Amino acid sequence: MINEKEKKFYEKIVIGTAQFGMNYGIANKLGKIRTNEMSNILISAKSKGINTLDTAIGYGDCQKRLGNLGIEKLNIISKISHFGNDISEIKLNLLSQIKQSLKELKIPCLNTLLLHSPNDLLNQNKYEVYDALTSAKSNGFCKKIGVSGYCPNQILNLTKEFKLDVVQLPFNIFNNQITNDKILNYFYSNGIELHVRSIFLQGLLLMESYERNPYFDNWKELFDKWESWLEQNKISKLEGCISYVMQNKFIDKVVIGIDSKNQFDEILNVLKNSNSQIIPDIFSSSDQNLINPSNWLV
C-alpha cells in the first residue's frame, strides 16, 4: 500500500529513457537496456503510479522500442530539434518529426513537446519555430510545449519572450543554478512547469572515487567534501542526490535516468524510506567543465 508521502514523491518522477535507445551515461556499465528489462521497469513504475516518460527522437531506437511495449496509457514527453534554415520548411520539418515520434511511439498525442535545444528559439528563425510549436499544440499533436536547456537565465529570458508551458533544466548537488529565487518565483508565478534532469550528473555523483576518470581529479576537493558530509550523516550517495532534488518545492517533475531494473528498485526504495534530512547548498560549482557533461574531456 502506497502512503501519501510516497505518492507525492512518485507523482514527481519521470523516467528518462536515453538508456533505452543508446549506451548513455558516464557511469553506465551495462550499455543499452534490454527489452525485457525495459518492460519490467515500466511495469514496476505503473504499479507505483509513475506514469510519465521523457524521450527524444534523437535517442537511437528508443521511441520504436517503447512503442512496441505499449505505452499508450502513459504521459510522454518528447524532444525534437534541427529544422533547417529555410523558413518555408520549418513548420513542415517540425511537424514531420512530431508525426514520426507519434508513429514510433504508437500514440495519438504527446503530453509535452520540448525543443531539445534553446538555440532554436534564439536564432533568426525563432518566430517561425515558435509558430510551428503553437501550431502543433493547437492541432492536437501535443498538450504542452516548452524547451530544454542548460542555462537557467537563458531559459528565463525565453519564457519572457515566448509563452511556454514547460521548461527542463539540469539540477543536482553540484549544479544548483536554478535555485535563484528570481528564476523559481517567475516560473511559479507564471504557471510554467519546471522539470529537472541530470540529478545524478550522468551517474558521476554515484561513482566511487576509484571509478572516476582522472579528468575529474581537478575537482577532488569538492568530491571529498560531498562524500565526507554523506559519511558523517550516514546517507548514501543515491539518497543524497534524490533528497536534494525532492526537497525543492518549486520543482514539478524530476527526470531520472535508469540503467537497470535493480537501479530502479534502489531508487524506489530510497523514495519510500527517505528521511527528513535537509541537504545543504554547500557543494555547488559554477565550473562548466564539471557541471556540463558536453564539456567533459573523457
Position 21 scores a pLDDT of: 87
Are the C-beta atoms of residues 133 and 115 closer than 8 Å to each other? yes
Q: How many domains does the chain have?
A: 1
Position 81 scores a pLDDT of: 84
pTM comes to 0.94
Position 88 scores a pLDDT of: 83
Q: In this structure, what CATH number is given to the domain that contains residue 116?
A: 3.20.20.100
Position 298 scores a pLDDT of: 87
Position 73 scores a pLDDT of: 92
Q: DSSP characters for the chain? A: ---HHHHHHHHHEEEE-HHHHS---TT--S-SPPHHHHHHHHHHHHHHT--EEEEETTSTTHHHHHHHH--TTSEEEEEE----S-HHHHHHHHHHHHHHHHHHHT-S-EEEEEES-GGGGTSTTHHHHHHHHHHHHHTTSEEEEEEE-S-HHHHHHHHHHS--SEEEEE--SS--GGG-HHHHHHHHHTT-EEEEE-TTTTTGGGS-GGGS-GGGGGGHHHHHHHHHHHHHTT--HHHHHHHHHHT-TT--EEEEE-S-HHHHHHHHHHHHH---PPPPS-S----HHHH-GGG---
Q: Measure the CA–CA gap between 109 and 74, rounded to whole angstroms.
A: 11
Position 127 scores a pLDDT of: 94
Position 25 scores a pLDDT of: 57
Q: Cell 524547451 identifies what position?
A: 147
Q: Measure the CA–CA gap between 127 and 123, rounded to whole angstroms.
A: 9
Closest to 168 (Cα-Cα) out of 102, 240, 241, 78: 78
pLDDT tens track of the chain, all 298 residues? 677 777 888 899 999 999 998 776 555 555 689 999 999 999 999 999 999 999 999 899 999 999 999 999 999 999 998 887 788 889 999 999 999 999 999 999 999 999 989 999 998 899 999 999 999 999 999 999 999 999 999 999 999 999 999 999 999 999 999 988 889 999 999 999 999 999 999 999 999 999 999 999 999 999 999 999 999 999 999 999 999 999 999 999 999 998 889 999 999 888 887 766 789 989 999 999 999 999 999 8
For 114, the grid coordinates are 520540448
Position 44 scores a pLDDT of: 93
Q: Cell 565550473 identifies what position?
A: 287
Q: Which domain holds residue 184?
A: 4-295
Q: Cell 525534437 identifies what position?
A: 80
